[in-house]
């Protein structure tokens, strides 16, 4: 058998660099023959592992990890939870927020990414116990909000926040009202949970509906339908009380919970709440008064002038 020549680390790295230029990745022992030579990557790896042909004991992955920054999955350094927390703190100082699993590479730690760290925490790799995650780790050590383990909502709890908001601002909260003071929650999150049945709530509701049901707050998107006759009855009642016909500036409709003449006028004009539209309070009044006048004329018409029935 022909005795093979000695190998050097420099020669192996030269072949590895050429492989990387051609393929965009580093060679593995399964990468086949080395072009222009009678060598193969499997033989190179075996020689390194056995310390043959003038080489010190190693392996192809270890050699590339040492000299070319290759990530050797079988020789990854151990991790500890506190080490990960320190990296996360450094990330927060730099970015003003804690990392998530999709936050990319870990600065100053070649080869590490937050996704790989999260995977190790989940599956118990690299010396970690497993059954955790990056979000759970930061929630435990730094009280960082974990979006997948959010606390449950309750209707009494939401109403307590509502009443506190009312006392503080004089208004009722809307889903766009931002952060709920003294909590990590937002009114948008509350509205979404009420709508979609999240975080212990049954769903099928909304913040506006809850306020309408529990606090009597007008829900603009669920107003009852209006009728011309019903509006006319309100107008007559207003005239009897004040001696004047209502306009859009007459304020609240007396005898209702939250109706206003401005809202009624807008519904008449724009065809909202089951009305046809293109009308007004004045037009409705003129039409109804004309109908009333015609009805009186019919009553006064002499019997002899009425058509035979």
Interval 194-241: pLDDT, tens: 999 988 999 999 999 999 889 988 777 777 889 999 999 999 999 999
End-to-end CA distance of the chain: 131
Contact of 53 with 5, CB cutoff 8 Å: yes
Q: For the purposes of burial, counting CB atoms within 10 Å of the CB of 225, is it exposed (0-12), middle (13-18) or buried (19 or more)?
A: exposed
Assess whether pLDDT exceeds 90 at residue 52. yes
Assess whether pLDDT exceeds 60 at residue 304. no
Provide mean pLDDT across the span 272-299.
88
* Backbone CA torsion sign across 86, 90, 96, 100: negative
Asked whether the whole model's pTM tops 0.85, one would answer no
Residue 301: per-residue pLDDT: 66
Q: Report how far residue 195's alpha carbon sits from residue 209's, in angstroms, rounded to the nearest whole number.
A: 10
Assess whether pLDDT exceeds 80 at residue 306. no
Q: Report how far residue 187's alpha carbon sits from residue 179's, in angstroms, rounded to the nearest whole number.
A: 6
């Amino acid at each position: 058998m022909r005795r093979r020549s000695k190998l050097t680390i420099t020669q192996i790295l030269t072949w590895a660099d050429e492989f990387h230029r051609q393929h965009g990745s580093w060679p593995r022992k399964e990468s086949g023959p080395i072009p222009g030579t009678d060598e193969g990557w499997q033989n190179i790896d075996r020689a390194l592992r056995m310390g043959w042909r003038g080489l010190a004991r190693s392996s192809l992955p270890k050699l590339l990890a040492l000299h070319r920054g290759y990530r050797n999955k079988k020789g990854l350094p151990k991790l500890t939870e506190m080490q990960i927390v320190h990296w996360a703190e450094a990330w927060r100082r730099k970015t003003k927020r804690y990392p998530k699993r999709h936050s990319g590479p870990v600065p100053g730690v070649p080869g590490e990414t937050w996704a790989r760290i999260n995977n190790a925490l989940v599956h118990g790799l690299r010396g970690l116990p497993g059954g955790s995650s990056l979000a759970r780790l930061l929630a435990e050590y730094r009280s960082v909000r974990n979006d997948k383990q959010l606390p449950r909502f309750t209707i009494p709890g939401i109403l307590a926040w509502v009443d506190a908001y009312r006392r503080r601002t004089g208004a009722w909260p809307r889903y766009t009202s931002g952060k709920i003071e003294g909590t990590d929650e937002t009114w948008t999150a509350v509205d979404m949970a009420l709508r979609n049945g999240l975080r212990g709530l049954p769903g099928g509701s909304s913040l506006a509906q809850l306020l309408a049901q529990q606090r009597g707050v007008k829900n603009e998107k669920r107003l009852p339908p209006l009728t011309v006759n019903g509006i006319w009855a309100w107008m007559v009642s207003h005239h009897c009380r004040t001696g004047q016909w209502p306009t859009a500036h007459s304020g609240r409709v007396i005898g209702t919970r939250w109706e206003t003449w401005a809202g009624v006028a807008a519904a008449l004009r724009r065809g909202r709440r089951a009305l046809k539209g293109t009308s007004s309070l004045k037009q409705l009044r003129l039409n109804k008064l004309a109908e009333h006048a015609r009805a009186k004329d019919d009553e006064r018409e002499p019997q002899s002038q009425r058509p035979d029935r």
